[in-house]
Amino acid sequence: MKTFSRRTLGWVVATLWLAGVDLPAAVAAADPPAKVPLINVTDLYHPPQDPGDNFDLIAAYALPEVDLRAVILDTTGGFRKPVADVPGMYPDPDGPREPGFIPVTQLNFIFNRAVPCAVGPFERMKTPEDKMLDAPRFQQQGVELLLRTLRESARPVEIVSFGSARPVAVALNREPRLMQRKVRRLHLCAGASEPGFVEWNVQLDPHAFVRLMRSQLPIALYPCATRDGAFAYGRHNCFWQLPDLRFVEQMHPSLQAYLAYAFGRAQRADFLRAVESESPATWKPDGLARPHNVWETAVWLNVARRKLVRRADGSHRIVTAREVRASDLVLPNELRPCRVAVRDNGELSFELTGKPTNFLIYDRGDPKRNEAALREALPAWYVAIRP
């Protein structure tokens, strides 16, 4: 029988991974796959509009399977005002907010990284085909960084998008061939799983969402809502809730300080010194006691090819494929081929298919079972992070 060297087997494993093949744990154990080159597009602000964005960014830096190449700040101009005036949306009275350069810089400091960061256009697209070449020069930088990162990568790049996805849609309009060639998959966290509700990220820029849903890009869709709203539970949407954030007190001191800076709406000028491990984290009395809404976890599990498992002792953990035990029950966190139809206002409908398609849709099975598992597994993962 012919035998193969470890180097040859490693080349085969990497090739299959690049082709999108899910490898059995026994084969994957031979050599780890190359890190996933990634661009993170996020509607991260300071002070935060959704503190989940600050947690989410930790995952981008901490997951060893991920090679974070760039952070693009997806900013909507109306939220930069003391009282937001984004047409048709909640008049948020807790501003002003600015693009999240501070939290990105803090995590570069904590993790000893130099991930570039830039901001996208502040205003909505005028049409789905808008290239936004008339946007101010400062606001062009996010789209340019996204495209430059794709051009400079030797391998196709995955993009995660939490927010309006405007920088991604504009980049597609400017260089469609580059996007089609270099985007391995866009993980798009937006929309509702059925018609009847226009979800927040879609409302931020309906033209951006429609442009992507009518494109030929390879897209994994993680609807944030159902027809019953953004806080409803369904098989195909990704919302779940943590009962509290008390586990933060067990996290690494630098990450505690980073989250305290965000949750406390800090305005300290020495924002790097504020997250040094010797700096005590300070919290408002109820800062960790309140429930926390989550939408992003499924995206990171799939980007990193991680598994959500129930162990033989009944505990739940987030593990790599090679850490799955024979006695583990792997819980659903699937991406299923589908066909998608989108209305001009961003309302979405889909149907599962066995035919070739560029769309995948998230499927978590029983949403309450998924939530119960993540309520234990995600805090345990955050607590274990050591920058």
Residue 90: its pLDDT value, please? Answer: 86
Q: Which tokens hold the place of 27?
A: 């084969």
Residue 9: its pLDDT value, please? Answer: 42
Residue 51: its pLDDT value, please? Answer: 84
Residue 6: its pLDDT value, please? Answer: 42
Angle at which helices 137-152 and 166-174 pack, to 10 degrees?
70
Residues 279-333 pLDDT 10s:
777 777 677 888 999 999 999 999 999 999 999 999 999 999 999 999 999 999 9
Residue 117: its pLDDT value, please? Answer: 98
Residue 32: its pLDDT value, please? Answer: 61
Residue 337: its pLDDT value, please? Answer: 98
Q: What is the CA radius of gyration of the chain?
A: 20
Q: Give yes or no for a contact between 156 and 182, defined as CB atoms under 8 angstroms apart.
A: yes
DSSP state of 321: G
Residues 42-80 pLDDT 10s:
999 999 998 889 999 999 999 999 999 999 999 999 999
> Within 13 A of 360's CA, how many CA atoms are on the CB side?
18
The list of the chain residues with pLDDT below 50 reads 1-29
Annotated domain spans of the chain: 38-384
The whole-model pTM stands at: 0.90
Residue 281: its pLDDT value, please? Answer: 79
Residue 136: its pLDDT value, please? Answer: 98
Residue 29: its pLDDT value, please? Answer: 45
CATH class of 38-384: alpha beta
Q: Give yes or no for a contact between 75 and 43, defined as CB atoms under 8 angstroms apart.
A: yes
In 10 A of CB 353, how many CB atoms?
A: 12
Residue 285: its pLDDT value, please? Answer: 60
| Sign of the torsion formed by the C-alpha atoms of 356, 358, 364 and 367 | negative
DSSP state of 386: -
Residue 3: its pLDDT value, please? Answer: 39
Q: Which tokens hold the place of 164?
A: 């309006």
Nearest to 138 by CA among 54, 73, 41, 71: 73
